[in-house]
Amino acid sequence: MTTRVITNISELTTNDPTIGDCSALGRLFDAALVIDDEQVLWVGASADAPDADDVIDAQGCAVIPGFVDSHTHLVFAGERSDEFEARMNGVHYDGGGIDRTVAASRAATSDELRDGTRKRVNELFAGGVTTVEIKSGYELTIEGEKRELEIASEFSDEVTWLGAHVVPPEYKASRDAYIDLVVTSMLEACAPKAKWADVFCDRGAFSVDEAREVLTSARAKGLAPRLHANQLDHSDAIALAVELDCASVDHCTYIDDRDIDLLSGSATVATLLPGAEFSTRSPYPSARRMLDAGVTVALATDCNPGSSYVTSMAFVVAIAVREMAMSVDEALFASTKGGALALRRDDVGFLGVGARADFAILDAPRAAHLAYRPGGNVVASTHRAWRP
């Protein structure tokens, strides 16, 4: 296997607290990294770097662990910029437009869905993402959900079945019949194609009891649970996520002290998706309250055509810093290690010895430029470890 040394790194963020300044970010300055095709072999001072087959000179730039985007809906057809414009003029987001994407996605060929997914995956990767979770949820039929999961699997191992996104139009008058279909034949067909199950548990989508039923059935079929909760309204959805030991509960825009208490005593990560609040002109989630209470926080794009057509993790970091009072280091950690924790992965999101060789070299001396230069091309190159 070829070894490679990345030298002359001005600021290396490892997220390994045993390295460098021994903070959570595990920072080293004037650093080097040695990798093989798969993993990190050595981390230390540039002056002490061992020889390797190849050398990459980082030229005094910062290196960060690859972003782990733990929440996306990349498999869809069409676009809904008209809804975005209406929202900017005061119209409220209620998820109603999901039906339009369902209609467009059902009408699309598999090649069209695949090409659109590839384009968005490539945009994410170019911006420093090295691990991406991808959900189904825009066809809401047995065959359609299966095909979205198959397409998602071409791009990621972190594939999530979201058959319970909303009740599709043809079942609006008989929602119980849709839930029956979801927990029986749809799950039967889809469980072998996914790793995770998710439900949109919110006003206008599914209730807490319905979400419990779907996630419990999914778990019995071998899928691990995660949950969309409290994007539009407050409910007991976060309590449900903790009750079911969801890896992550996502959005958390409406949250109270009890939710924060439950989360801080749990292994459930709160994944915040500020691209959605930005694009729906909604209040941002209270990241500060969660972090101060010891809740593990992740940041992700939520890339989808309705509430957050965002394909840049750097942009998400910038919003979290500017609008949610997260420090740059907290936002960087949440978008790398936090995302890994939200996917229960212990091989990505950090750059200690044994981690996957997934990293980004920035066109900047410090990682703070991710938030300091919003909208700029701060990520110079993305490196992903070889995957079988």
Contacts with ligand NIG by CB under 6 A lie at 73, 95, 97-98, 101, 200, 228, 231, 276, 302, 304-308
If binding is defined by CB under 5 A, does position 202 make contact with Fe ion?
no
Write the CB contacts of 174 (distance below 8 Å, at least 6 apart in sequence). Answer: none
We find the least distance from the C-beta atom of residue 84 to ligand NIG, in angstroms, to be: 10
Q: Are 215 and 163 in contact (CB under 8 A)?
A: no
CA distances from 46 to 59, 202, 354 (A): 12, 50, 19
Nearer to ligand NIG, 72 or 131 (CB): 72
φ/ψ of residue 333, rounded to 5: -65, -45
We find the least distance from the C-beta atom of residue 332 to Fe ion, in angstroms, to be: 22
CA distances from 369 to 16, 42, 60, 180 (A): 21, 26, 14, 49
> Which option in Fe ion, ligand NIG, none does residue 231 bind, with CB closer than 5 to 8 A by kind?
ligand NIG
The partner residues of 271 in beta bridges, in order of sequence, read 250, 298
The number of C-alpha atoms within 13 Å of 81 and in the hemisphere containing its C-beta is 0
If binding is defined by CB under 5 A, does position 210 make contact with Fe ion?
no
Q: Show the tokens assigned to 126.
A: 């170019």
We find the least distance from the C-beta atom of residue 140 to ligand NIG, in angstroms, to be: 12
Nearer to Fe ion, 135 or 345 (CB): 135
Q: Are 23 and 15 in contact (CB under 8 A)?
A: no
Going by the DSSP 8-state scheme, the letter that residue 38 receives in this structure is S
Beta strands in 47-154 (DSSP E): 54-65, 67-69, 129-135
Which residue, among 295, 320, 325, has the nearest Cα to 310 in the 3D structure? 320
Measured CA to CA, the distance from residue 239 to residue 254 in angstroms comes to: 13
> Which option in Fe ion, ligand NIG, none does residue 98 bind, with CB closer than 5 to 8 A by kind?
ligand NIG
How many residues at the interface with Fe ion, by CB under 5 A? Answer: 1
Tokens 């981390």 locate to 43
Nearer to ligand NIG, 198 or 236 (CB): 198
Nearer to ligand NIG, 121 or 310 (CB): 310
Nearer to ligand NIG, 103 or 189 (CB): 103
- Do strands 379-383 and 359-362 pair parallel, antiparallel, or not at all (unpaired)? antiparallel
Nearer to ligand NIG, 195 or 226 (CB): 226
If binding is defined by CB under 5 A, does position 302 make contact with Fe ion?
yes
We find the least distance from the C-beta atom of residue 231 to ligand NIG, in angstroms, to be: 5
Q: Which stretch binds Fe ion (CB under 5 A): 90-98, 181-189, 235-243, 299-307?
A: 299-307
> Which option in ligand NIG, Fe ion, none does residue 276 bind, with CB closer than 5 to 8 A by kind?
ligand NIG
We find the least distance from the C-beta atom of residue 162 to ligand NIG, in angstroms, to be: 8
Residue ranges that bind Fe ion, judged by CB under 5 A: 302
